[in-house]
Amino acid sequence: MKNRIAISCDHAGFELKQKLLTHFNDQYDFKDFGCFSDNSVDYPDFVHPLSMSVANGQYEFGIVICGSGNGVCMTANKHQNIRAALCWTAELGELSRLHNDANVICLPARFITENTAFDIVSIFLSTAFEGGRHKNRVKKIGLM
């Protein structure tokens, strides 16, 4: 059974989202929350539904994409139980899983190549949380 992954973007991330869907289609079961073209949109309209679906366990992980990665990251992190990480290298993608138990990865479409995005997503989705000394720290991320 394929892992269930939620994915969304804004207009700046649309092309990269399509490439990720094509590249990883055989490996993962994706739910595309949009957007569905490169016409200008507001990223929160697509990131909030994705984040709710990951937070409530419908999907194991989320991938969100915009031009800088910042807007989608800020939006996703507004949700309790979401740990969204802005990653522009594979090492950051790996560390976000190992040390932070990130469940949403945020990609900056205007600043990474498609091959870099493939590498980041691949390592993010295949890396387990290390636990140990990081477990208590991750527990403290939630609202007080």
Active site residues: 66, 99
DSSP the chain: -PEEEEEEE-GGGHHHHHHHHHHHTTTEEEEE----SSS---THHHHHHHHHHHHTTSSSEEEEEESSSHHHHHHHTTSTT--EEE-SSHHHHHHHHHTT---EEEEETTTS-HHHHHHHHHHHHHPPP--THHHHHHHTTS--
Contact 110, 130 (CB under 8 A): no
Tell me the one-letter amino acid at 59: Y
